[in-house]
Chain A
Amino acid sequence: MPSKRCICAVLLLGWSMAFAAIGKETAVDNYRTYCTQCHGLDGNGKGINIRDMSVQPRDHTDAKAMSGRSDDTIFKTIKEGGPSIDKSVLMPPWGDTFSDEEIHDLVAHLRQLCKCSFGKEP
Chain B
Amino acid sequence: MRRSLLPLLLVAMAATTGARAADDGSAILAQRCAGCHSLTGPAPQNLQQLWGRKAPDLFYAGNKFRADWLRAWLQKPTRIRPAGEFYADHIRRGEKGDEIDTATLTPHLALSAAEAGPVTDALMRLKAHDDLIAAEKIESGSISKSMGEMTFDKFLGCMTCHEIEPGFGGASGPELYTAGRRLQAEFIASYIRSPQAWDPKIWMPNKHVSDTNIVKLVHYLSVLSKEPGDAK
0/1 interface trace, chain A 21-49, chain B, CB 8 Å (1 if under): 00101000110111011101110101111
> Using a Cβ–Cβ cut-off of 8 Å, how many residues does chain A contribute to the interface with B?
34
B156 pairs with A89, CB closer than 8 A: yes
B46 CB-CB contact with A under 8 Å: yes
* Nearest B-chain residue to A34, judged by Cβ: B203
Contacts of A53 in B (CB 8 A): 159-160, 170
Which residue of the partner chain, among A29, A41, A42, A93, contacts B205 with CB atoms under 8 Å? A93
Sample of 11 A–B contacts (CB below 8 Å): A29-B47, A32-B88, A33-B88, A36-B88, A42-B93, A46-B96, A52-B159, A52-B168, A53-B160, A89-B157, A93-B208
* Nearest A-chain residue to B159, judged by Cβ: A52
Which of chain B's residues 94-108 have a Cβ closer than 8 Å to chain A? 96-100
B97 pairs with A37, CB closer than 8 A: no
> How far is it, in angstroms, between the C-alpha of A34 and the C-alpha of B172 when the chains are bound?
10
> Using a Cβ–Cβ cut-off of 8 Å, how many residues does chain B contribute to the interface with A?
36
Contacts of B153 in A (CB 8 A): 54
* Nearest A-chain residue to B195, judged by Cβ: A96
A50 CB-CB contact with B under 8 Å: yes
| Nearest chain A CB to B191 CB, angstrom units | 13
- Apart from A49-B172, A92-B207: 14 A-B pairs, beta carbons within 8 A: A25-B46, A33-B203, A37-B88, A37-B161, A41-B92, A48-B171, A48-B172, A51-B171, A52-B169, A53-B159, A53-B160, A89-B157, A90-B157, A94-B205
A99 CB-CB contact with B under 8 Å: no
B213 CB-CB contact with A under 8 Å: no
A52 pairs with B88, CB closer than 8 A: no
> How far is it, in angstroms, between the C-alpha of A6 and the C-alpha of B153 when the chains are bound?
55
A70 CB-CB contact with B under 8 Å: no
> How far is it, in angstroms, between the C-alpha of A36 and the C-alpha of B87 when the chains are bound?
10
